[in-house]
Structure 1
Amino acid sequence: MRIGFTKMHGLGNDFVVLDGRDAPLPVIDMRLASALADRRTGIGCDQLILLETSNVADFRMRIFNADGSEVGACGNATRAVGLLHGAPARIETGGGIVAASPVENGISVDMGEPRFAWEEIPLAYAMDTLSMPVGWDGLDAPVAVNVGNPHAVFFVADCDAVDLAAIGPEIEHDPLFPERVNVNVATVDARDAIRLHVWERGVGLTRACGTGACATAVAAMRRSLCDREATVTLPGGTLRIAWGNDDRILMTGPASESFRGIFDTDDYPPTA
């Protein structure tokens, strides 16, 4: 079966988008998702995005990481899908309903309310999520935040000096996090400026992570390290994050379409 796709990215965090809103797509399982995401033998992406019809929103967005695991939220992908849709939209995701709207400097996304209770992250057992009494090789006392998916945020003097490629996998797979975790290492440079590196579960080091930027900004705000609106700078670029008095997170930043193409599912047969 031949299927059209759109290759997109938000600050270098890239996606293959399959649009099944007008015509049903074939079953996309973990095997096919990871095969399409492979940068040597597939199309190549950090996440595979499926658009489907929805009974509760304008449409539904499903998100598969590069390893084929399905996750609940992706901020950069939401901006990309908002660009593709071309109009304000309410989007159903596994992490809840979000809203995307085109604005002058990109796409603005209402990411909803962050969650902080230990069982909402989730963690394996109860603890303070504002300053978790745990650490890994010099990274300690993280903040835990769920913004549709789980994040652990570490504040350090210089995030550029942390070997996140080495320590990220250990934290991601620690038994403390039963659904694994996204690992954020951040430096607060000013009351409105944060630098950030992210190890994304199921992906690895990423040039940008929208939910990571949201989680990190909210974590810094909860600790009174910055104001309620801040610029988060990642290797791929910057996002503007505002945490309103209504407790909802607003993320604003660019998204781009790279190219369009067609693949044939017969080129990705099940392995024996």
Structure 2
Amino acid sequence: MKFFKYQGAGNDFVLIDNRDQQFDTKDTALVAQLCDRRFGIGADGLMLLQQRAGYDFEMVYYNADGNPSSMCGNGGRCIVSFAKHLGIIEKSTRFLAVDGEHEATINDTADWVSLKIIDVEHIEKDGDDFVLNTGSPHYVKEVVDLKNLDVFAAGRTIRYNATYKQAGINVNFVEAVNDGYQVRTYERGVEDETLACGTGVTAVALAMAWHHNRLGTYSTPIKAMGGDLNIRFTYLGNGVFKDIYLEGPAKLVFEGLYPGNS
């Protein structure tokens, strides 16, 4: 089975061209094995690129534990770069994911992707923190001294509390830096901190705009552990956000055959 390994700001994925429908989509054990960092290829998740009538392609995403998951923003950017690599698209695309239709553009060198995220029309408070859905559910918490925070312990406490344990939630810790924000994320499904989370940094940018009531069109730079990302959006007020774009790098790391030759 031929596979491709991509990363977007350190968020890494196994990608498989499944237009011939040869991959068994019910084999969750295989997905988990492929994503295993010691006994497999190693990744935060796995994506299948499939044919879908009316679209350039369909994105099917699995968490590293093998279970089907909600939308992954950095994964979405990586699969756009993969589609360009396969010759399916050139500079723009319209594809289908689990949360609906997405649009994206990619530069000539195929290493910078701007991905449109679903509109957001509602943000909730949980104490002093924020909860919203940007294609995946996210919890946003402002902290100080983020670099020294035990993200695994703090994130796991929130993700497995009585409110969120059953459905699960991604937990983002944020600290203001310069003209943007530093973000670290504990991801459900991976059940650990990842170097970046696309829908997570998007949730942070929107939550902070809502918190400070910053109406208008903005570009918010975000520093994730694995690299720099940018969020563009228009905030109309009352928790309503339109024209949301997640922008950042998406790069091919290597490709190979699984299982490889010993």
TM norm. shorter chain > 0.5:
yes
Deviation of 1:264 (Å): 4.4
* Equivalent of 1:111 in 117, 133, 140: 117
Q: Is the 8 A contact 1:196 1:213 kept in 2?
A: yes
- The CA distance in 2 between the partners of 1:31 and 1:116, in whole Å, is 36
Over the residues paired in the alignment, what is the CA RMSD in angstroms?
1.9
Determine whether 1:241 maps to 2:228.
no
**Aligned position for 2:238:** none
Structure 1 unmatched ranges of 5 or more? 118-128, 134-140, 266-272
Q: Counterpart in 1 of 2:134?
A: 147
| Match 2:155 to one of 147, 155, 168 | 168
Measured in 1, the distance between the counterparts of 2:73 and 2:252 equals 16
Does 2:138 align with 1:132?
no
User: What amino acid is the match of 2:193?
Assistant: L
Answer yes or no: is the 8 Å Cα contact 1:174–1:180 preserved in 2.
Answer: no
* Percent of matched pairs sharing the same residue: 31
Which residue of structure 2 aligns with residue 181 of structure 1? 169
Aligned length: 242
Read off the aligned partner of 1:210 and give its amino acid letter: G
Tell me how far apart the structure 1 counterparts of residues 218 and 167 of structure 2 sit (CA, whole Å): 29
Which residue in 1 is equivalent to 2:255? 260
Match of 1:93 in 2: 97
CA distance in 2, matches of 1:34, 1:230: 34
CA displacement 1:75-95 (0-9 Å, x = unmatched):
111111111222211121112
Distance 1:33 1:247, change over 3 A: same
Residues 1:80 and 2:75 are matched in the alignment: no
Q: Which residue of 2 aligns with 1:216?
A: 204
TM-score (norm 2): 0.86
Provide the rounded CA distance (Å) in 1 between the counterparts of 2:162 and 2:53.
36
Matched, 1:193 2:180: yes
What TM-score do you get using the length of structure 1 for normalisation? 0.83
Q: Which ranges of structure 2 fall in alignment gaps of 5 or more residues?
A: 85-89, 236-240
**Using the alignment, how far apart are the partners of 2:176 and 2:100 within structure 1?**
29
SS in 1 for 2:132: strand
Alpha-carbon separation, structure 1, partners of 2:107 and 2:211: 30
Give the 3-state SS of the residue equivalent to 2:242 in structure 1.
coil
For 1:54 and 1:239, the matched residues in 2 are separated by 29
Match for 1:232 among 213, 222, 225? 222
Q: Does structure 2 retain, via aligned residues, the 8 Å contact 1:114–1:248?
A: no
* Counterpart for residue 136 of structure 1: none
